[in-house]
Structure 1
Amino acid sequence: MIANLVIVVVFGIGLMTLLYMITQHQPSRRAEPDEKRPPLKLPLIGDLHSSPIDKPLANWDDWARRNGPITLSRLFGIAPVVILNSYEAVTELSSRRSQWYSNRPRSATMEIITGAEPGQSRFTLMHDYDDHLRLHSQTASSQSRGPSRRRDISR
């Protein structure tokens, strides 16, 4: 009895999804015949199926020209994903405006465990982007570059 109910529900959801896709992809009656219709977007994969197999990123250039240097997409229709299509947009958001976007999410659990003030956790991943973390990042990056070239002055 329950198995039959599950089959009916799954079939109903599939039928409603199919009807939604068909009705949403119909061109409007006012659309000109020469006007290019947008590709069919399927659930979960979007319009990924319309990309050529041998060059999967061929559509990205067209997409960047159409949507501009910063585009917002949704992964699986749920999670927002910001796509940066130009070098200028990447440098603007990653270096010039980094202090706006670099703060970590507040973790009440970490604050209770460490006894730190909000955003001042001693764990680097939970610390706000401030002068202390900036100094820590610069020190870590200079140490990770390896030994510097120095002349041997003993000769």
Structure 2
Amino acid sequence: MKGPIGFGRVVNIVMNIILGLCMSLVMLTAAGVPLLPEIVIEAWFASFCIGYAFGDIIPVASWGPALCAKLNLHGGIGFYLINSVILGVYFGTIISFGNMLINNLPTLGWAAVFGGFVASWPLVALSAVVLVIIFLWLAQKIAKAISGFDPAAAAREAH
């Protein structure tokens, strides 16, 4: 868990712990499901696994910096917000769709998967963006402490 790869993996783990829990609460509440501990834990676990797997497989963390580089943004609030929006929309989308697939496909079919996804996506994506804006700095701070890697210092050295 050292270096840039470790940094990215720790950020992915921390953010998906937070996103999985908070977004599960949002989705369950919006669907009118009672927030019983076993239901919340099951929804959190599914959300965490979906978000972590797709965060590890697809290099979404590089999309924001790439866009910012094209916009000539190399730091500051604009850089942070662009990254947060991209990460939030991405994770909100895959977690929402993944949960609809897991929960609806076996019993209700594809129409319920797509219908549930379309109905929940705006609220879930917006919630994810807000959560990323609030918690990304914390995840990065934890990742820096664990991995020993500082992306800001590495960017300064590269210039």
The normalised TM-score by structure 2 is: 0.24
Higher strand share: 1
The normalised TM-score by structure 1 is: 0.24
Structure number, greater radius of gyration: 1
Higher helix share: 2
